[in-house]
Structure 1
Amino acid sequence: MIIERARELALRAPARVVFPDALDERVLKAAHYLQQHGLARPILVASPFVLRQFALSHRMALDGIQVIAPPGNLPMRESFAQRWLAAPEKKRRRTRWKSLTTR
């Protein structure tokens, strides 16, 4: 019952889910599953070229999955940092807690 409710909520409003360890086969499979079933909008953090090769070697498609190159995307990192700092302290605390609990 709980799983079905969570699935319904995810289908209604798919959240963005960032996977910083994208070069792990399990993570790639999870991101692919979430994208294919409309449960979330996965974002993989890795070099696009390296990730594409990794996905091909595991026979996985990256269609519809956003890929962010960590070192080469300074404007995006600065934008995230500014939005995070502009958020109220309560929301920042919750964001930190979520990042700790999702590891």
Structure 2
Amino acid sequence: MLKAIQAQENKEEALKKAEAASIKLKDMKFHKASEIVSEGISETTNYMNFPSEHWTRLRTNNPLERIMKEIRRRTRVIGSFPDENSAFMLVTARLRYIAHTKWGNKKVS
């Protein structure tokens, strides 16, 4: 039911599908679930305000998790830093590198 909402072609269709899902949940006596779907649908479809080719990257937090994993990996190799500034410089350098790639894909635009 929830996957069907996210699979819609545009935000208006997703909102209609969410409303139908909410009604169906109410009919099945899942009032709390219906309320949660109704209240959260505008938040979970915010990514649909952007062009559809960006949706896959916007609706998940996988890119952020990948960045954090990469920073952890880099800092573990070094072990201990002489001071706070050196750790900050390493993290900043990594973030700048990622920022200059297309969506962090390592495909330079």
TM-score range, shorter chain: under 0.3
More strand by share: 1
- Could you tell me the TM-score, scaled by structure 1's length? 0.27
Higher helix share: 2
